[in-house]
Structure 1
Amino acid sequence: MRIARFSTEEGMSFGVVEENTVAAVAAHPFGDLTFTGVRYPLADVRLLAPILPSKIIAIGKNYAEHAREMGGEPPAEPVIFSKPSTAVIGPGEAIAYPEKLSQRVDYEGELAVVIGRMCREVPAARVPEVILGYTCANDVTARDLQQKDGQWTRAKGFDTFCPLGPWIETEVDPADLAITTTVNGEVRQDARTSQLLHDVPALVEYVSQVMTLLPGDVILTGTPAGVGPLEIGDEVTVRVEGVGELTNRVVARE
């Protein structure tokens, strides 16, 4: 099932995407879904970020080759950091390049996990019980600021630096999915989630030992090798097999 968040002239709703239509649901997508009976052609709605999380927890250096391209060795434990909820944008929205502050902004295509219920200290074997589904993500990063600051909050935290979408896929197995990132149609990243150093169950177990996870919280699972710069005017697309594709254009920050 593909759960989307979308807007029409009537306002914002959650819905289930079925072929070329969206069936609206009442309230939020957590728990049993109640359909309103209203259905829209997919082409007539605007897809938004599928969720607005209370927090975004991201994992650094979770593919061995990416760790090496960044000048280090793969870490023994997950490296966690956070991005603010204000960084979230949806499919088709613009990534704002902050030229006054950064001269190197990179794409980082990732599989994102969306938490389905409040949980804490979840053992790996029970992780599927707390996951709503999966979506595509782009952990946009001001690389020069990351290197300058020595920590990642500013570099990862700009408004628009966390595109999510196009929807939440609830029925995919995340163990071995193809993930690619293209810039202006050229493939820049090409990997599989089976190459993750720490898989989804391990990540949710690890993060939930530190903090309580709430419905809608997002965990970014890490980016594969091939990260690189974006320029104003570029179009970047993250594709995850069985989930969908997320496209955003880069514009100058006003």
Structure 2
Amino acid sequence: MAEISAVSEGPRTEGDDYRGIMRFAHLVRADLPEPALAVLDGSQAILVSTLYPDAPATLQELIAGGSAALDAVRAAIADGAAVVHELTDFTFASAVLAPPAVLAVGLNYAAHSSELGLKTDAAPTVFTLWPNSLTGHGQTTSWPRSLSESVDYEAELGVLIGTAAKDVSEEDALDHVWGYTVVNDITARDIQFAEAQWSRCKSFDGFTPTGPVVVTADEIADPQDLHIWTNVDGHMVQDASTNQMVRSVRTLIAHLSQSLTLLPGTLISTGSPGGAGYSRDPQIFLRDRSTVTVGIDGIGELTTHCRILG
């Protein structure tokens, strides 16, 4: 369970600069009945529920409230009345809770397609991830040894849809993005190559860590210009850029919106670069007590602890 550095609890000083710190997380504390939506600024956090009556309780509620809800949060923080909490007792839940859908894109980096021995098709490879797989930064993901001993990591850029997108053009696609997060698309490779679909091998409990935060879209000038990487047990194993995507975020949103309406809050995991453990010689799989951190510059670093049962 990861802890965040402590800061003194107290009110913000009026005039403190909260421009550009719209980084949202779901925090857990023993006295809170549910994960609480918070705005993070470095080691400081403000619980959104305390800002004004009927404030959004989750990121999904905030996104559903549209620009008016986000503006209300910004204004409430700017007026100096927000309370900054000590964070010693907080841990992270998934940055994305109860999205309408989690859509994952496979084979979206040529190097990753090649190392898996799979062909990048003319259209994107798309599958769904099940909601039980969502978990937070610093949490422990466990799985039975009897199910898989070939569990792999995949660093991915996660895209959160803000406004419903149907038949949108590539030119307009980024207008529908609310924010971005980090995703580790953990995968049981032996199951992946034994079955005709990829949802089960990637949807064990805790196989989709997200976070630590979601950053609002205005913080990311270009989603195709982000350093993305993975570190397993102290070793850098993926080191790439989102500019290596076969299909850009714009292209993926436009393509997906042709066949379905992308609802507000939908999470799109946009594929992983080369360097997967499956393709290495010798292979690197996540072991009992492994620690894997995936990161994207400008968004954050997402750490998962691993336990193999049995």
| Matched letter for residue 109 of structure 1 | A
Alignment gaps of 5+ in structure 1: none
1:25-64 equivalence runs, <5 A? 25=48, 26-27=55-56, 28-30=61-63, 31=66, 32-33=69-70, 34-35=72-73, 37-52=82-97, 53-64=99-110
Alignment gaps of 5+ in structure 2: 1-21, 49-54, 77-81, 278-284
1:7 to 17, 25, 28: 28
Larger mean Cα displacement after TM superposition, 109-118 or 219-228 = 109-118
The structure with more radius of gyration: 2
| Matched letter for residue 24 of structure 1 | L
Q: Quote the residue 2:112 is aligned against.
A: 66
Contact 2:160 2:267 survives alignment (8 Å) = yes
Contact 1:119 1:208 survives alignment (8 Å) = yes
| Matched letter for residue 255 of structure 2 | Y
Structure 1 position 130, deviation (Å): 1.4
Q: Quote the residue 2:16 is aligned against.
A: none
Larger mean Cα displacement after TM superposition, 67-76 or 51-60 = 67-76
Structure 1 position 186, deviation (Å): 0.4
Deviations 1:157-190 (A, max 9, x none): 2111101010001111311101000101100111
What TM-score, normalized to structure 1? 0.94
Contact 1:54 1:85 survives alignment (8 Å) = no
What TM-score, normalized to structure 2? 0.78
1:242 to 287, 298, 302: 298
1:227 pairs with 2:250? no
Contact 2:230 2:237 survives alignment (8 Å) = yes
> For residues 164 and 142 of structure 2, what CA distance do their matches in structure 1 show?
32
TM superposition outliers: structure 1 runs of 4+ over 4 Å: none
1:198 pairs with 2:247? yes
Structure 1 position 246, deviation (Å): 0.1
> For residues 255 and 185 of structure 2, what CA distance do their matches in structure 1 show?
20
| Matched letter for residue 227 of structure 2 | A
Structure 1 position 38, deviation (Å): 3.3
RMSD over aligned CA atoms reads 1.7
Larger mean Cα displacement after TM superposition, 83-92 or 7-16 = 7-16
Identity fraction in percent: 39
> For residues 109 and 138 of structure 2, what CA distance do their matches in structure 1 show?
27
1:168-183 equivalence runs, <5 A? 168-170=214-216, 171-172=219-220, 173-183=222-232
Larger mean Cα displacement after TM superposition, 127-136 or 31-40 = 31-40
- Residues 130 and 43 of structure 1: CA distance in aligned 2, closer, same or farther (over 3 Å): farther
1:103-114 equivalence runs, <5 A? 103-114=149-160
More strand by share: 1
| Matched letter for residue 90 of structure 2 | V
Structure 1 position 100, deviation (Å): 1.6
Contact 2:233 2:291 survives alignment (8 Å) = yes
Deviations 1:50-95 (A, max 9, x none): 1122211111110001111011333222111111111100101112
Deviations 1:109-130 (A, max 9, x none): 1111111133222221222221
